[in-house]
Amino acid sequence: MSKIINEYKQFALKGNVLDMAVGIVVGGAFATIASSLVEHIIAPILGVLTSGVDLANLFVVLKSGVRGEPYLTLQEANLDGAVTISYGLFLNGVFSFLIVTWFAFLMVKAINHMRQNEAQSEAKSLKECHYCFSQIDQRASKCASCASVLEP
């Protein structure tokens, strides 16, 4: 039993698992921000541009409830027990998804750019041994792989 617990500790405490856990927490928080952005900023702007149409209240009634139609809001329809297709809420979800994935793309792009710059600067500090073709530091006077004396 203790062997399994030790293996689990090694797995759970690896850097990648901890990085993934932090990423999930940050991603969840970011999704909340994106949902708020859509609900409180984008949807009202779209409402103004579309003469007061609220995305959250875009729905189609498949089956009326007890009181019957017309329903002015989705909440009214739900309270009456109507069966609806809430395509406005779906559109809000699509907007949230697009915002989250756009910012994730921008973050990955920025990180890849930093990594590429780092790799380029590292490559500039290396030279190739003329005898064994291994990569060595630019300042080296002797190859670590084949012990050849290098010209300055």
pLDDT at 51 over 90: no
Range of 93's domain?
2-125
* Stretch 20-48: mean pLDDT: 82
Mean pLDDT value across the chain: 82
What confidence tens digit (pLDDT) does each residue in 65-113 have? Answer: 888 889 988 999 999 999 999 998 898 888 878 887 888 788 888 888 8
- Calculate mean pLDDT across residues 2-25: 78
For residue 54, give the CATH number of its domain. Answer: 1.10.1200.120
Whether 10 is in a domain gets the answer: yes
In a domain, 67, yes or no: yes
**Opening angle at CA 8, ends 6 and 11, nearest 5:** 115
The pLDDT tens digits of the residues spanning 90-100 come to 988 888 788 87
The total domain count for the chain is: 1
- The answer to whether residue 117 sits within a structural domain is yes
Query: Residue 90 falls within a domain, yes or no?
Result: yes
Q: Is residue 145 part of a domain?
A: no
Task: Please choose, from the candidates 140, 118, 142, 138, the residue with its C-alpha nearest in 3D space to the C-alpha of residue 127.
Answer: 138
